[in-house]
Amino acid sequence: MKKWWVCFVGITLVVTMVVAQTKEEKSVTGAGVLTDEEALQWKTTGFKQANTMGGGEAAISKSGKFRVFVLMGQSNMQGAGRAKELKAPYNERHDRIRIWANGRWEYFVPSQRFGPGVSMAHQLAGFWPGDTVGIIKVAVGGTGICGFEKNWSFERAELTWDGKKGPLYRDLMNAVAEARAISKPEFCGFVWKQGAADGTKKVLANEYYDRFKQLVSDLRGDLGVSDLPTFVPVYMKDEELLKALLSRMNEKDVLKAKRSASTPPENDGELLKTLLSYINDLDLAEAKKLGGRRPYIATVINAQNRAGREIPNVNTIYPGKLPVGDDGTHYSSEGYIKLGKITASAVEEFYKANR
């Protein structure tokens, strides 16, 4: 009995030492050896594109802060820029820029496609010359906001045909948990580039503001930053949105919209609400005549603008028209570089104003 007990204690001590050593190795190298199960959680749809942007495992500097930004959204956050079109410094390793790829921190050097994160990270590394900038990106083309919800369900995600992509918020939180285990990230911002998918259905567009507000709240709570700065590139301001709607509607439709209102609109803000309500009440075929494949996109844009006005520390960004690629929908490589710089400038302005 005594020999058995001594043997048991000895085995327990060895296992404890191995586990401790493994944790220590992961904290030093940034990853360590992954089990099959661990490896699978980094091969989800949410990380597929980000995994191609890593340029090899990279340690995190112990000097300065490690400022991490969360990037989420659909195709223009994911990025359709061609990596072969990148020029220095964007195609080179940077000692103070990291991306979460393949379950670890890596140098940020895209090998296939890229989005706005590359130029954004480089500009911010210059803004904070003593710190390291990290990016955790979960972005998938054509994905509606329900695909990013914390309280995810297959049924809601399927409203935009995203159920098979899995819970993208969980992907993000897996990365956050592991990043915290191997480094000391200070979460400094959330960048959200999304919305087109929700412009396809009335119910999604009408619920967009509340869903986005909840997403921001959940993210702030889970990251432990109650006032996390949030940055939302938006296609146009409400004033421009109103002009765009009026340009698509004939005088007869505008008159019908005004008459349908309980009280006549007295200013541009009220007129915009009236027109959005009118479009919302049209049948789908009529709505598509005004909005095309995304008949309710104007409601989504209006919701994003509202978020910038009403949710604390949510900052809307207006890049204007950016260069697009051959498909006429997604930005070109030049467009993504410009969007990243514009976003970085918005981050800089926020932090300058809040020092």
The domain that holds 160 is classified in CATH as: 3.40.50.1110
- If asked whether residues 20 and 40 sit together in one domain, one would say no
Helices 202-223 and 268-281: angle between axes, nearest 10 degrees:
120
pLDDT score for 192: 98
- If asked whether residues 178 and 193 sit together in one domain, one would say yes
**Domain membership flag for residue 277:** no
pLDDT score for 26: 44
pLDDT score for 165: 96
pLDDT of 1 strictly over 70 = no
- If asked whether residues 91 and 219 sit together in one domain, one would say yes
Nearest alpha-carbon partner for 114 in 139, 78, 147, 63? 78
- 218 pLDDT tier (thresholds 50, 70, 90): very high
Range of the domain at 198: 36-235+318-353
Q: What's the DSSP call for residue 249?
A: S
- If asked whether residues 124 and 189 sit together in one domain, one would say yes
H helices then E strands: how many in the chain? 13, 10
pLDDT of 20 strictly over 90 = no
- If asked whether residues 18 and 64 sit together in one domain, one would say no
pLDDT of 146 strictly over 50 = yes
pLDDT of 251 strictly over 80 = yes
DSSP letter string, 60-113: PPSSS-EEEEEEEESHHHH--EEGGG--TTTTS--TTEEEEETTEEEEE--SSE
User: 260 is written with which tokens?
Assistant: 């349908």
d(CA 148, CA 315): 20
- Over residues 133-144, the mean pLDDT reads 97
pLDDT score for 355: 83
**Domain membership flag for residue 84:** yes
pLDDT of 31 strictly over 50 = no
- If asked whether residues 228 and 327 sit together in one domain, one would say yes
For 258-300, how does the pLDDT look when each residue is reduced to its tens digit (9 = 90+)?
999 989 999 999 999 999 999 999 999 989 988 889 999 999 9
- Over residues 59-74, the mean pLDDT reads 97
- If asked whether residues 6 and 116 sit together in one domain, one would say no
Number of domains comprising the chain: 2
d(CA 40, CA 34): 9
pLDDT score for 6: 39
pLDDT of 18 strictly over 50 = no
Using an 8 Å Cβ cutoff, are 226 and 279 in contact?
no
User: 232 is written with which tokens?
Assistant: 């939302």
- If asked whether residues 161 and 15 sit together in one domain, one would say no
For 311-325, how does the pLDDT look when each residue is reduced to its tens digit (9 = 90+)?
999 999 999 999 999
- If asked whether residues 19 and 145 sit together in one domain, one would say no
pLDDT score for 32: 53
**Domain membership flag for residue 301:** no
**Domain membership flag for residue 54:** yes
**Domain membership flag for residue 304:** no
Using an 8 Å Cβ cutoff, are 343 and 116 in contact?
yes
**Domain membership flag for residue 310:** no
- If asked whether residues 210 and 190 sit together in one domain, one would say yes
- If asked whether residues 66 and 1 sit together in one domain, one would say no
As a whole-number percent, the residues of the chain with pLDDT over 90 amount to 84
- If asked whether residues 26 and 48 sit together in one domain, one would say no
pLDDT score for 196: 95
Do the strands 132-139 and 81-82 form a parallel or antiparallel pair, or are they unpaired? unpaired
**Domain membership flag for residue 118:** yes
pLDDT of 85 strictly over 80 = yes
**Domain membership flag for residue 284:** no
pLDDT of 169 strictly over 90 = yes
